[in-house]
Structure 1
Amino acid sequence: MNSSRPLARKAAAFGASAAVLGAMVAGLAAAPAQASTQATAGKASAAATSTKARPKVSVSTPKASSRDNDGSCPVKVDISANINVKLDGKTDLAYRWLHGDGSKGKVKVLKLKGHGTKSVKIGQTLTFNEEVKGWEAVQVLGPRKVTSKKGYFSVTCQDAVVVDKDQLSSGKRISVSAWADPSSYVGPCTPGDKVNFLGRIKVNDPTWVKYRWVLNGRVVDYGRTKIYHSKTVSFGYSPRDSQRGYAVLQVVGRGGGSSSDRAYYKVWCKDEAPSTRVSATNLVTATNNDGCKVGAHATINSTGRARVEYTWYVNGQSVDSGVVGFGREGSRTVELSDRVLSGSATQGGRVTLAVSGPRNNDSISQSYAACEAPKPKISVSSLSVSGQRNEFCADRRGPGVDFKATISSTAPTTVKYYWVIDGKRENPDLERQVNGSVDVTWGIAGAQSASETKGSVQLVVFSPDSASAATSFSVSCPKPAGA
């Protein structure tokens, strides 16, 4: 018992709560068991990776359900993080939580198998009876030792003061309303939100507002937001059994607050028929060369009433997700909006849609084409007469005429073109390398038995794009001197 007193003083120096202090004392008693667990985890990890390179591991920064928790104590703070493991077979994932007071959580081991990157979401719930500022981190012990960045949070204990609706002591007016969507649910009570609670907070003057949701008398969510006129806030609830109850949205603060009426809900957990199955079909991918993007659409099918979660993957990486509901047998089309590709993904790859229903999972994959460089766009401009040659006039002919035009391209390319005079093609195919803009020229001899040469001229580009320009012309021999 005496051995815990220095530890208590150390915890107090760190500003630890009574709950975390209790965890530290309990941790001393459990140290041999934890050491044994850690050793077991290390052996299991080493055995799994002895014949091949250890998988790559990364850990996200832990995130609290609410970084600034302001309300009545005790307060429960949910902390979560993602561990990504690049698998090529089987491995054991061993990890533990590191606490801001210097203590360490119990080592936990998960068995993983498969190929590609697997994301594991881990979480814990901490209870605080007093104010505290702290952090949490995740330490992976195997198959590689990796420690995440620190995820910070704080707890401020205060009583929620509910005053007359639409009136704050500061002079600011506020109104709060809340409702359940749906207010009544009948169906399978599988993981995932069944009831969404929505609340609207209105103020007469822009201000920062701290709020919390109270579900059946228990604080379940916190938030802080800037409201200019009105804003909608929400949280989701996933009951595991049939029940009814209510939620209240409260605005809290040291100077006062406001509370909504009760938003009542009712849930009846009713299993689906065993035959209900879900599937993914008709996956179509499309590569958009304008910006190098990939998109897709597919069909989700269900043989009966079901709530189906789906996730889109591009080359094994999760990029989007959603939920569709079926009241009966049917099909729904889901889309993956264009995603910008980079690196090796621009050379082609695979898109996968994975679906999860109440009774089964399914997935479908389809390759997508590599991005191609956009086709150059060609334009012709500034077609005009650039000069005339009067030497033909001595033979009682009109002057010769020279023409010039500018060919432009949006990308380096070889341009093929020809000239047309008075509707007749003048020459075989001509070629020029164009990187930006280049001037091209053409000339014709003088007209027979005439003192002028006139008509129409056209420049036609036919590869790699089509473009043209045309104009009319008229030039005359100079008059003899003294005429």
Structure 2
Amino acid sequence: MSRRVLLLSSALTLCAGLLGTTPAAASASAGVAVSVAKVRATPAKQSGACPTTVGFSAVLSAKGKGTVRYRWVRGDGSKGAFKTAKVRGAKRIVVKDRQTFERSTSGWQAVQVAGRKGLSAKARFTVTCAGPLIVYDNRHPLPPSGETAPVEAAASVTASPASHNGACPVTVTFTGTLQVSRVPAKASYQWVDDAEGESAPQTAEFGRNDPRTRTVSLTLPVTNSRSGWKAIRVLGEHGHDSGRATYSVTCQRQESPVDVAVEAEWTEYAGRCPTTTNIYGARLKAKTGPLDVTFRWLDDKGNAGEVQTAHFTKNREVRYADSLQRGYEASAEGWHGIEILTPVRHVVTYPYRVTCDQDEPAIRWANLPIPYVEHDDCGNGVQYGGKGRIELPAGPARDLSWTVLFDGVRVDTGTLTFPGGTGTRYDVTPSVLIAELNKSGTHHVTIRAGNASMTTRIVLVCV
């Protein structure tokens, strides 16, 4: 018999109740028209001391309602990180990037919009380095200047570890050394990253009795193999930029004696904010026993929970971490996860993306489908059930279309007629849809209402 999973289609029933504020999330929207113009490098031609930086900018014009995801693509094959902009009506966005160069070079950068073919026009640039590379650091201090001379400032950066080959996650620490030619002084600077571009400017103040050197630092949690660099750009006419502090992380996966599954209420959300998601207690299953496992919650921002211990007395025994609830008041994306500390260190993550839109409904689960199922008799069918909930804010009467999708395929659709007035709640009540499955796998259920949506990941493991 083929494996079958019973999933939700939907009938909609109106439930009384006032609306509380709730979530929002979306990816690049097909309802937004986008064009990119005025792609420029500043300066396009540069000759002088190195290291130096080149800035890049473009004007992204968007019209419609939804979100746009974009990134910078470079002639050397590297790519920046995707960034997101929310659009309602007509909007012009100036998008920027900056790169540090240590030697003479030429190339180009262009903007890529997710979901659309091709690139924007290319901003071409040329850097010609005059003389040897000069970086002022602890071994090569910036010379002092007289009281009447302009204040000069310089920076250097190191990465530690610069190279890592082993268990992940690992934290790379970037330590910057700022120097000024005399005190008192102020030095304005910004971090430059190969993927993220330039940070917001920062200022270091040096008092009259302070040393001419100041240390600043950044940390970068790395969970997967990657390489890159960071540098410091010193702002102002008399600034000397740092070189690139490069790093390379190669994650070696060791066989772990414990299987970990982390699931949550949803992976993507678009709608009203603030909203919450429940991250269900990570499921830990021992491959051998007896066994002690230490672990903690972790996220991509570097936040870590308290260390917990699970004791397993035998093989295939299961333990659960405490569940978490996370709230979001603004658009965000990243991951939550469980970091196994011992006996073999590794991280299992669960991604999320939130796109807040206060004019859209909020979508939640009234009764959540079980997000992780381990079943020993898939041939007889595994039944998932759930009840979605669509909440509309107070406002004028309106019709609202809704759709339920399973793995991107529409399984039900309809229209809500909202009478207006106070906030109203609609429940999405499951009926039965049979989806034929041939093996264990990961599936996604999405509820859409207008431009709001919620997507939940469901994992079926047939044992």
Pair in the same fold by TM > 0.5: no
Structure whose alpha-carbon radius of gyration is higher = 1
More strand, by proportion: 2
More helix, by proportion: 1
If asked which structure has higher relative contact order (CA below 8 Å, sep 6+), I would say 2
Using the size of structure 2 for normalisation, the TM-score is 0.33
Using the size of structure 1 for normalisation, the TM-score is 0.32
